[in-house]
Structure 1
Amino acid sequence: MPDGRLVQTDGRQIVIGGRREFNYEYYPKDAASNTYSLPFLVETSDRGVENNLYPFVHLNVDGNLFIFANNRAILLDYAKNKVVKTYPKMPGGDPRCYPSTGSSVLLPLKNLKAAKIDAQVLVCGGAPTGSYIQAVRGKFIKALATCGRITITDPNPQWVMETMPTARVMGDMTLLPNGNVLIINGAASGTAGWEFGRNPVLNPVLYRPDSKLGSRFELQNPTTIPRMYHSTAILLRDGRVLVGGSNPHVYYNFTNVLFPTELSLESFSPSYLDAGSSNLRPKILLPGSQSKLRYGQTLVVSFTVSGRVALDKLSVTMVSPSFTTHSFSMSQRLLVLGSEKVNSLGKLKYSVEVTTPKTGNLAPAGYYLLFVVHQDIPSEGIWVHLQ
């Protein structure tokens, strides 16, 4: 089973790793139809447990791939099959990949017209070393409550560690239109795998990347449905997050088990959808849905806001649709286009001028949800096609 996939700038996907598969390949296959050896996956495989399946893969702004497996990371020039940077091991040394399943996001990309664009990766949760073996024996160890954040574009990158309000393994991380990160689903002890998770974490957590270190996490209202192994979460066009799944069993088991197979869906509504904020929520007028965009294009977005507008607290964001498995949303990325020029058009109408990303390394070609964000409150998204 393949572990990591990523849409590339040339339209292909790269498939990385797998059980006892220490290599990568492309889909569609290249002319040689080859797999390419990746010794890093051998180096990060714990004997008998692996802890490097479903690695976290992010497309860096230089076109190379940031690959995180177990507790280590590299930057891979996939075109030349060459490791161009090796990152420090995450402090603590505990594994973060399957079956010690944490999650990861590439934090929002900003200042897209700058000569140097910073890219930061956040890795949260997981399970301590030895947790899988202990779970096999019926002992369920408390999951990790730490996150590591690193600027992968720095010449001398270092991990900065943070602590979540709750320990979490098998959590899902979803980028919200305003640039915050939702951490949802999972368990407080045990590991991924059949029947190995315990103590479901019912409270989602919001992570605010731009807040001061030590005050970035905010506990959210709980669900009543345990979402354990094989659960998922994805951003919807209206700003909600669709949450579903949970099946810790080899088959669908609905009775006489600790955590029944869960086929329901529910939506998580961030606080920006509260009724008290509705007058601050923008509504996009133009461009229309399914508009085609070019790289480096000047784009004028017009919108309405019924309440008082703070033009200095306005931005436009683009969010790529992701596809998710085993607590990692592949190809997920958010770009902040900024607000270069804002005009009042009268009668509660405004326009903002922005520039689309300049290269496929910043934003691979394809569909994106485009949002206007006002005072941290996003509009409904519209689909646009960057090509």
Structure 2
Amino acid sequence: MPTKIVSFIFHFLILIVQSSRMMSQITSALSDHEGEWHILHESIGISAMHMQLLKNNKVVMFDRTDFGRSNLSLPDGRCRYDPNDTELKIDCTAHSVLYDIGTNTFRPLMVQTDTWCSSGAVLPNGTLVQTGGYNDGDHVIRTLAPCNGFNCDWVEFPQALLERRWYATNQILPDGRIIIIGGRAQFNYEFYHPNSQDSSFSQKAVRLNFLRETRDSDENNLYPFVHLLPDGNLFIFANTRSIVFDYKQNRMIREFPAINGSEPRNYPSSGSLVLLPLDENRPIEPEIMICGGASRNAFQLAKKGKFQRAASTCGRLKIMDKNPVWKMENMPMPRVMSDMLLLPNDDIIIINGASSGTAGWELARNPVTRPLIYNPHLDEMRRFSVMPASARPRLYHSTAILLTDGRVLVGGSNPHIYYNFSGVEYPTDLSLESFSPPYLSPVYDHYRPRIIEVDEVVSYLQSFSLNFTVQRFLKMSVVSVRLILPSFTTHSFSMNQRMVVLKGVQISRVANNTYQLFAVGPSTREIAPPGYYLLFVVHSGIPSSGMWIKLQ
């Protein structure tokens, strides 16, 4: 064999070994490196009880209208006149804001009826549909369309819901409808039809006995966990039980074993749940993960001043297994009222909450200020990494969402019946902060992809292209493309959150440090309902910033 060929093969093998070592080092460093906290605003005027990222890189946040004046005035002398309000009939302060990620600014929005403990989902056209609430808001739907001006605001449709929806759950469906499930003393569901001329919902509510069966003395089945499965059915979890439900035929297809242990996982026990990423590069096996919660009767005990230790367990369940069982593991600390978010590199962040008590006014103690990052691909003893602590306790009515640039936005904490800033152990918190996961550390900038061009519209099963740059490219096999549907987050559950890993990724170098990538859109609407997604390129565990695409 010629000397030059032998030399080429030798150097090529060295590059492969070096590349593998670099990837191993990056993976190890990511698990060791700590993230960073940054205060964005000491006060946005309201407590961020509900959050949704919109396609114009703005975040809508709101709390409730019935616990007094907020710290943010409505513009132009506007006031809310509400004879049904339990606190103020005339209120000239805002209870909703629109936050601009790029400029780190916010402005007040006007919401008329009470949004306390409501729910939401985003339509395929990018409009947020927000449903229900308390008192005069429990039958209301509200919409907020993305816009860049200062004139857009909430539009409200009174009495548009068939039933009272307080602590209900929303899920976007493959056909663009929204299903609204449950609520306090509501053992049924109904639909929102976006093309309805009168903005009404379904003609009648449909009974769902599973919700009645899972109710206990503390309820513990409010805000049921719901996810759309790749076969088009719904996974529904309430209290300790879960089912696969065919909403088209109104029938239960399958019931799973109760999660190990006796701890309920839904509000007010308030664990959290995610659907793990759906990877189209292999046969899709949907898997659910639930973490945290409160002991049974924790709500009643906390009202008597006895704050039980929260659950420290997580359970994973493969939905399609022939004999599915919950595989349990332990977090480094107990948690209740945490939020779980999918990060673009496959990790899961568990953030906010307390280690004892339960959800409700003054019913939790011992805030957990250290986020956890969970890597589902490592061996069990290495999956959890403990991140640095925030200086701010985030208890009842705190929220967190993923931002376009990969940071996590955190706000809220209103563990009292009113805006109470003094004389209590945990005052109402109006601040806004961000947490930067380890992958955003500057030490990984050489490996971070930067998308410079992408098709704005992606079609099902159709190839599309994008261009990206990266200073230090390792190899093509460590590059993936992910779509993330941003969540509506409230009360420890991120509704509609999902990630799809795309198939057919092909990469070619087009210039120095610049690459062209081709990928194939999702296979079906059941795997990824139509709408606006954040697209991330991930290179050896380091994600780019997300770019908005419209899936249709």
- How would you bin the TM-score normalised by the shorter chain? over 0.9
Identify the match of residue 526 of structure 2 among 352, 356, 361: 361
Read off the aligned partner of 2:397 and give its amino acid letter.
Answer: H
Match of 1:103 among 272, 277, 287: 272
Q: For residue 246 of structure 2, what is the aligned residue in structure 1? A: 77
2:380 aligned residue:
213
Q: CA deviation at 1:113?
A: 5.6
Deviations 1:321-347 (Å, cap 9, x if unpaired)? 111111000000011114632212231
Give the Cα separation in 2 of the matches to 1:68 and 1:242.
26
- Name 1:325's counterpart in structure 2: 490
Spell out, residue by residue over 1:148-192, the C-alpha distance to the aligned partner (whole angstroms, 9 max, x if none): 000112222111001001100000001111111000000000000
The 5 A counterparts of 1:222-241 are 222-241=389-408
SS of 1:211 mapped into structure 2: coil
Match in the other structure for 1:298 = 463
- 1:164 paired to 2:331: yes
- Structure 2 match to 1:202: 369
Could you tell me which of 214, 224, 228 is aligned with 1:55?
Answer: 224
| Partner residue, 2:206 | 36
Question: Counterpart of 1:192?
Answer: 359
Are residue 129 (structure 1) and residue 296 (structure 2) matched? yes
Aligned match of 2:305? 138
For residues 292 and 522 of structure 2, the distance between their equivalents in structure 1, rounded to whole angstroms, comes to 31
Q: Is contact 1:281–1:305 with CA below 8 Å preserved after alignment?
A: yes
Question: What SS does structure 1 have at the residue aligned with 2:278?
Answer: coil
Q: Which of 475, 488, 501 lines up with 1:336 in the alignment?
A: 501
2:515 to 326, 350, 356: 350
Q: Per the alignment, do residues 224 and 263 of structure 1 end up closer, same or farther by CA in structure 2, a change over 3 Å counting? A: same
Letter in 1 for 2:206: Y
Q: Does the residue aligned with 1:340 lie in a helix, a strand or coil?
A: strand
The 5 Å alignment of 1:278-297 reads: 278-287=445-454, 291-297=456-462
Is the contact made by 2:190 and 2:202 (CA closer than 8 Å) also made in structure 1? no
Residues 1:127 and 1:92: Cα distance change in structure 2 (over 3 Å): same
SS at match of 1:277: helix
Counterpart amino acid of 1:261? Answer: T
Quote the offset at 1:286 in angstroms.
Answer: 2.1
Contact 1:71 1:89 in 2 (8 A): yes
User: 1-side partners of 2:371 and 2:454: how far apart?
Assistant: 34
2:202 & 2:451 partners in 1: Cα distance?
46
Q: 2:192–2:202: 8 Å Cα contact kept in structure 1?
A: no
CA distance in 1, matches of 2:496, 2:295: 27
User: Within 2, Cα distance between the matches of 1:38 and 1:376?
Assistant: 42
* Higher alpha-carbon Rg: 2
Instruction: Say whether the 8 Å CA contact 2:245–2:251 is kept in structure 1.
Output: yes
Identity of aligned residues (%): 51
Q: Which residue of 1 aligns with 2:550?
A: 385
Shift of 1:32: 5.4
- Give me the whole-angstrom Cα distance separating, in 1, the residues matched to 2:369 and 2:462: 43
Using the TM superposition, give the Cα deviation of residue 358 of structure 1 relative to its aligned residue in structure 2, in angstroms: 1.2
Instruction: Give the equivalent residue in structure 1 for 2:25.
Output: none
Residue aligning to 1:86: 255
- Give the partner amino acid of 1:42: R
1:8 alignment partner in structure 2? 173
| Distance in 2 separating the partners of 1:203 and 1:271 | 14
1:266 aligns with 2:433: yes
Distance 1:302 1:348 in 2: 11
| 2:411 aligned residue | 244
Unaligned runs of 5+ in 2: 1-165, 194-198
**1:186·1:200 contact (CA, 8 Å) conserved in 2?**
yes
Distance 1:294 1:266 in 2: 36
What amino acid does structure 1 have at the position aligned with 2:388? N
Deviation sequence 1:309-368 (CA, Å, 0-9, x none) = 332211011100111111000000011114632212231111222111011100010000
- Which residue of 1 is the match for residue 343 of structure 2? 176
1:240-273 alpha-carbon deviations (Å, 9 max, x no partner): 0000000011111011111111111000000111
Q: Quick check: 1:2–1:15 contact (8 Å CA) kept in 2?
A: no
Query: Hey, which of these two has a bigger chunk of helix by percent?
Result: 2
What's the TM-score, normalizing by structure 1? 0.96
- Following superposition, the deviation at residue 30 of structure 1 comes to 7.8
Does the residue aligned with 1:214 lie in a helix, a strand or coil? Answer: helix
Q: Corresponding residue for 2:236?
A: 67
Distance 1:338 1:264 in 2: 40
The 2-side partners of 1:31 and 1:257 are apart by 42
State how far apart, in whole Å, the 2-side matches of 1:362 and 1:163 are: 30
> Would the alpha carbon gap of residues 294 and 173 (structure 1) be closer, same or farther in structure 2, given more than 3 Å must change?
same
> How far apart are residue 297 of structure 1 and its match?
1.1
Do 1:254 and 1:261's aligned partners in 2 also have CA atoms closer than 8 Å? yes
Number of residue-to-residue matches in the alignment: 382
- Which deviates more, 305-314 or 56-65? 305-314
Contact conserved, 1:145 with 1:166, CA < 8 A, in 2? yes
Amino acid corresponding to residue 409 of structure 2 in structure 1: L
Asked whether 1:315 is paired with 2:485, we answer: no
- The verdict on how the C-alpha distance between 1:268 and 1:31 changes in structure 2, with shifts beyond 3 A counting, is closer
Give the distance between the partners of 1:307 and 1:113, measured in 2 at CA: 25
Question: What letter corresponds to residue 69 of structure 1 in structure 2?
Answer: A
Whole-Å separation in 2 of the counterparts to 1:128 and 1:236? 32
Tell me how far apart the structure 2 counterparts of residues 184 and 2 of structure 1 sit (CA, whole Å): 21
Whether 1:149 aligns to 2:319 is no
Paired residue secondary structure (1:242):
strand
